[in-house]
Each structure stands twice: as C-alpha cells, then as structure tokens.
Amino acid sequence: MLFGVCVPTIHNVKVHAEVVKGINGLDKFVLREARGSSAEIYLYGAHVTSWKNACGEELLLLGSKAIFEPPKPIRGGIPICFPQFSNHGPLDSHGFARNRVWSIDSNPPPFPTSSASKTFVDLILKPSEDDLKIWPNRFEFRLRIALGPGGELTMTSRIRNTNTDGKPFTFTFAYHTYYSVSNISEVRVEGLKTLNYLDNLQNETRITEQRNAITFQSEVDRIYLSTPTNISVLDNGKNRTYVIHKDGLPDTVLWNPWAKAVADLGVDDYKHMVCVEAAAVEKPITLNPGEDWRGSQEISTVPSSPCSGLPLPRKVLGN
C-alpha cells in the first residue's frame, strides 16, 4: 500500500532559481530542486524563510507573528548572526547582517570543492558607510545557499577582511536555525554528551552535559562548546530526524524560549520549534586584512517516516 509513502517524483529536470516579490514587496529567491524540495531566501537578511522537503512539508518554523518590515529582523527560518552572536559584544542582538539588504553576487570566486547541487544562489554583503560607524571594519561576506538532490540545504559563508588600514577584526557567528517540530516534548538532540556548555539562564555558568540526549521541559538557552561536526535532532512525533553537518563552526547553541514572551512568536510557537545553531561564539574568529574565513552548515532530514504520499501538484510547485 502506497498510502503515506513519500515517493519523490522528478517533475522537471530544469534547475529552478528565480527572484520574485515576497511579503511587503521584498525580493526573495525561490530555489526548487527537481525532486520537489524547495527553499525561499529573502535578500533582506539573506534570510532563509522556508525549506520544504520533496513532499512539500515545511521544515523550518517561521514565527506566526513574523513581520517583514525592515529594519526589524524576521523571526524564524534561518537568521544569519554576524558580526556578533546574541549580546556577545556592543552591537544589537545578533549583529546587523540579518537586517541588511544583501545583493546577488554575480561573480563569486570559485568554490574549492565541487558541489553536486546546481540549485543555488550566491549573495554578498558589504558594509555601508553607516555600518562602518557602528562596526568600523570593511568586509566581504559571501553566502552560497544550495539545495541538493536529496533536499539537503547547504549554507556556506565566506568572510574576508578587506580593511585597508591594516587592522584585523574579530567576530562571532551563528546560523540561527529554527527547526519545525511536532511538539517540543517529543524532541531529542543527540551528539552533545560529556560536552561543556555555557548556560545563558545561569549567567553563562559552565556546565558539563551528562545526558545522552537533550530533551526539553522548560526554557533552554545554552552554548555547547567544541561540538562534533554532526548533531542530530530527533522528532519522535514526526518520526523525522534532522541531521546537521557543520564545518568551521565549533559551537552549537540550543534555544527554546518555552512560554517566555518573544517578539513575533505566537504563544504556542515554542511548542513547534527548536533552535539548534551552528556557531562560533566562545572563541571569536580573528581575520587579518586579506584573510578569509569559511563556515558552513548542511542540514538534511532522514525520512524515517513517510510523508504525504502524493506528488505535489504542479500549481503548488509553480512549475
């Protein structure tokens, strides 16, 4: 019986990447992979607001009250935290990359490794004169967002110090990914046992994790340090596992605000989200002029359970 079995269908072998108008007329990119997975990326913030599997199921949580009104950051999806994670510095929370309009990078330097994905977008952020007043460093931040044949979403950041005054700069960083989950009480995060973490709810007290898997019964806000390259987020309610593979990003932030009021989250949103953030926080990155840094995350799902079973109608895909 095929009911409930997700059988991705190749609707169209063409690669899809198009710019369309999103909410409030903001430009967004839509990436579509031939088997049906898709992603949406706003140029505002280089913000991934949607990532769907081949069955059209949304894998990210967007705040139910999210607003798309610059200069406010978009709540949910995948905000980019740069050049400052959270309040680890003098800037507003998470720095300014998430509330700047990025540009399409029409001539990115070649990637050292060959990517299987042909469905991607290259974006770039450079500081404005106003940005230089609050963070006096010139940089080029290149971001490639790619959708692979298995629906995996890869984000690769390449940041270069382009200061002409000979000065190094230092930054912290995170891919602040809001995963959509059936219910937070059904979620286990694996891969963090025996690691130290800084507990933001206890003034960044350093604690050693004892549990095999992290579960959630109340607010959690922690920075796990020197974490492995692979972290798993198991959602027993959906029989879905998110697999996070990261590179150049030693730390992993776990956040669920529980019932605490958070801007642009609905009162029940916390039940359906968990933030697991590939990050560089404890040891800030320092770049000398001309130096590059690279940090990436690839996120995918293990289809441990069938999804809808029916190929998506073309009108939903827009093909």
Which candidate, 299, 304, 265, 59, places its Cα nearest to that of 181?
59
Q: Does the footprint of ligand G6P cover residue 180 (CB under 6 A)?
A: no
Q: Does the footprint of ligand G6P cover residue 200 (CB under 6 A)?
A: yes
Measured from the CB atom, the residue of 172 and 200 that comes closer to ligand G6P is 200
Q: Does the footprint of ligand G6P cover residue 93 (CB under 6 A)?
A: yes
Shortest Å, Cβ 204 to ligand G6P: 10
- Out of 189, 253, 274, 280, which residue is the one contacting ligand G6P (CB under 6 A)? 253
Q: Does the footprint of ligand G6P cover residue 280 (CB under 6 A)?
A: no
What the block records as the tokens of 317 is 């895909």
* 16 included as an active-site residue: no
Across the chain, which distance is largest between two alpha carbons, in Å?
67
Task: Find the binding residues for ligand G6P in span 47-86 (CB under 6 A).
Answer: 86
| CB neighbour burial string for 171-209, b if at least 16 within 10 angstroms, e if fewer | bbbbbbbbbbbeebebbbbebbeebebbebeeeeeeeee
120: enclosing H helix or E strand: strand 119-125
- Out of 94, 100, 144, 240, which residue is the one contacting ligand G6P (CB under 6 A)? 94
| CB neighbour burial string for 52-84, b if at least 16 within 10 angstroms, e if fewer | bbbbbbebbbbbeebebeeeebbbbbbbbbbbb
Q: Does the footprint of ligand G6P cover residue 97 (CB under 6 A)?
A: no
Shortest Å, Cβ 64 to ligand G6P: 15
Residue linked to tokens 């609050």: 134
- Out of 139, 171, 255, 293, which residue is the one contacting ligand G6P (CB under 6 A)? 255
- Out of 33, 131, 221, 269, which residue is the one contacting ligand G6P (CB under 6 A)? 221
Q: Answer whether 274's CB lies under 8 Å from 187's CB.
A: yes
Shortest Å, Cβ 312 to ligand G6P: 32
* 69 included as an active-site residue: no
Q: List residues near ligand G6P by CB under 6 A.
A: 86, 93-94, 200, 221, 253, 255, 275
Q: Would you name the residues annotated as active-site residues?
A: 176, 277
